[in-house]
Amino acid sequence: MALTEQTRADAAELAGRYPQGRSALLPMLHLVQAAEGSVTPDGIALCAEILGLTTAEVAGVATFYTMYKRHRVGRFHVGVCTNTLCAVLGGDAIWAALSERLGIGHDEVTADGAISLERIECQAACTHAPVMTANWEFLDDMDVPRAIEVIEKLRAGEEVFSTRGPRIGTFVEIERTLAGFDDGLAGQGGTDTRMNAGLTYAQQHDMAAPAGPAESPLVAVAAAKSAG
């Protein structure tokens, strides 16, 4: 794959969505990953050119966040949470089983290019531990047999649906969605009752957070300086 004029046009569109163009850098990095499968030197140069940044500034962001990959990953990038809660509930066992089954370790890709694996410290989904993701789509309440079933279906090209949402697309497809381009799947999936339990309870009991001050001291000071 290579960066095309369409990729350049899409990147320029992203920059135009923000009052300050550099705010588009994160989605733009997802866009170049969609175009090339990873954040390449050419992708970094494109972002820098359109946003008026140095390549060092773009590379600094691309290497800070683990969702941006500097080498090709699998068509399906599988993350297994091995942080404390997920680990004790089975995350470590899931990781060991998948690593053995696929013959790869952390940040490695199967020989057929189908699956890559990543140990993830936290998926922010402890309610559904142990949790996996496939191309950042959640697979909740996993165990070893279900995890193996998922990767075998993905390798075989069969449809797999995330627990809370749509069909799991390829890495390239999901990266374009993360860049901010509509994939037409927003209506798929349902409400996560466990994640929303606190909100539901508050609504049922007519609870609300207390109102904050109308104006904080810092805001008042900043306004005064601006007026002066």
Q: Under a CB-based contact definition with an 8 Å cutoff, are residues 47 and 28 in contact?
A: yes
Residue 83 has pLDDT above 60, yes or no: yes
Name the CATH superfamily for 76-171: Glutaredoxin (3.40.30.10)
Residue 227 has pLDDT above 70, yes or no: no
Residue-level pLDDT at 222 = 56
Residue 215 has pLDDT above 90, yes or no: no
The predicted model gives 56-61 an average pLDDT of: 96
Residue 211 has pLDDT above 90, yes or no: no
Question: Check: CATH 1.25.40 for 5-64?
Answer: no
Residue-level pLDDT at 186 = 76
Assign residue 206 a region (left: φ > 0; alpha: ψ between -120 and 50; beta: otherwise): left
Residue 121 has pLDDT above 60, yes or no: yes
**Which burial class, exposed, middle or buried, applies to 102 when counting CB atoms under 10 A from its CB (0-12, 13-18, 19+)?**
buried
Whose CA is closest to 25, among 5, 40, 46?
A: 46
Average the pLDDT over each of 99-103, 187-191, 192-196 and give the range with the smallest value.
187-191
Annotated domain spans of the chain: 5-64, 76-171
